[in-house]
């Protein structure tokens, strides 16, 4: 059903400081993760699980969440704030001047038939005159509302885009946010978000194809245009070997300014859990 890849709690963390902390959750395309960040911006706890799909290729969120017992105590404490980032592949970006809240479902109709089991959310991307409109499985919101009624929701693009822009060093930049079997690709020109889309892939060569397609679409040289990477991406993977053959300027997105890690968490690359702290 699911396998825990990382489960870290720093030795000096105490549940008694929960009221000073923020809880961040990511509902991934094939994963579930959370982090606890204290009022000094130190990440005190982190867990990441990879979920299995059924024979029809679907995630059974209801069964997974009903059996999510191991971190339940961590998830139900009284936190200062709770935020859930949703890695929904069903999303679109709508310019603010054209956005109408009552038309949210209409914006997604050209992408897919909205599922009856999904809720439609929208948020403004900080620093950009754009609204992200996206689906979230109703069972996920119902579950989280049951344990954290004040939780806020945000699309992963809304959380990541401002952080990515703050790390840019050249006029042209590509960024890639990797999840299992899916990648979100961003193109920034002089700080402006020009392109953002997500692609599903089955092999490393598929992922490479989609990345090179964006480079080609905007006539960007793979020799010198930076590619900023975050999410679940490993230098020991075939995916890295494929990308490194063609893209010469690879960089990992660092944590936002001021964030710190403890002894245990510092042993793993910070780009793996960047999505949990982006925007909080």
What are 173-199's pLDDT values in tens digits?
999 999 989 999 999 999 999 999 999
Q: How confident is the model at residue 145 (pLDDT cuts 50, 70, 90)?
A: very high
Q: What is the pLDDT of residue 100?
A: 94
Which residues make beta-bridge pairs with 132?
Answer: 93, 123
Whole-angstrom Cα distance, residue 157 to residue 153?
Answer: 12
Whole-angstrom Cα distance, residue 112 to residue 132?
Answer: 16
The DSSP 8-state label assigned to residue 80 in this structure reads S
What are 32-66's pLDDT values in tens digits?
999 999 999 999 999 999 988 877 777 889 888 98
Helix, coil or strand: residue 31: strand
Which residues fall within 8 angstroms of residue 103, CB to CB, at 6 or more apart?
A: none
Q: To which H or E segment does residue 176 belong?
A: strand 172-179
**Section 79-102 average pLDDT:** 95
Q: Are 76 and 36 in contact (CB under 8 A)?
A: no
For 36, half-sphere exposure in the C-beta direction (CA atoms, 13 angstrom radius) is 26
Q: Are 93 and 160 in contact (CB under 8 A)?
A: no
Task: Tell me the torsion sign for CA atoms 54, 59, 65, 69.
Answer: positive
Whole-angstrom Cα distance, residue 132 to residue 95?
Answer: 9
Q: Are 92 and 160 in contact (CB under 8 A)?
A: no
Q: What is the pLDDT of residue 89?
A: 92
**Section 68-95 average pLDDT:** 89
Q: Are 238 and 195 in contact (CB under 8 A)?
A: no
- Name the pairing type of β-strands 22-27 and 81-86: parallel
What are 218-263's pLDDT values in tens digits?
999 999 999 999 999 999 999 999 999 999 999 999 999 999 999 9
Buried b (16+ CB within 10 A) or exposed e, 47-71: bbbbbeeeeeeebebeebbeeeeeb
Give me the residue label for tokens 């995916």. 239
pTM of the model: 0.94
Whole-angstrom Cα distance, residue 277 to residue 109?
Answer: 31
């Amino acid at each position: 059903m699911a396998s825990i890849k990382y489960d870290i709690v720093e030795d000096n963390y105490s549940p008694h400081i929960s009221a000073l902390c923020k809880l961040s959750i990511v509902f991934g395309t094939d994963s579930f993760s959370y982090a606890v960040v204290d009022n000094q911006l130190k990440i005190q706890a982190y867990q990441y699980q990879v979920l299995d799909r059924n024979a029809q290729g679907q995630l059974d969120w209801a069964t997974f969440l009903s059996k999510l017992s191991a971190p339940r105590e961590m998830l139900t404490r009284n936190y200062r704030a709770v935020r859930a980032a949703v890695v929904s592949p069903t999303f679109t970006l709508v310019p603010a001047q054209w956005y109408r809240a009552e038309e949210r479902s209409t914006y997604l109709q050209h992408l897919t038939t909205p599922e009856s089991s999904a809720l439609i959310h929208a948020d403004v991307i900080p620093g950009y005159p754009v609204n992200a409109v996206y689906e979230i499985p109703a069972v996920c919101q119902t579950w989280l509302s049951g344990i954290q009624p004040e939780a806020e929701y945000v699309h992963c693009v809304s959380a990541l885009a401002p952080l990515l822009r703050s790390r840019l060093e050249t006029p042209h930049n590509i960024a890639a946010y990797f999840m299992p079997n899916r990648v979100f690709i961003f193109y920034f020109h002089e700080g402006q978000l020009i392109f953002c889309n997500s692609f599903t892939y089955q092999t490393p060569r598929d992922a490479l194809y989609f990345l090179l397609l964006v480079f080609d679409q905007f006539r960007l040289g793979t020799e010198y245009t930076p590619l900023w990477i975050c999410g679940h991406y490993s230098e020991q993977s075939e995916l890295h070997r494929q990308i490194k053959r063609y893209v010469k300027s690879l960089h990992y997105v660092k944590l936002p300014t001021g964030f710190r890690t403890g002894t245990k968490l510092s042993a793993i690359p910070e780009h793996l859990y960047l999505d949990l702290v982006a925007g909080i």
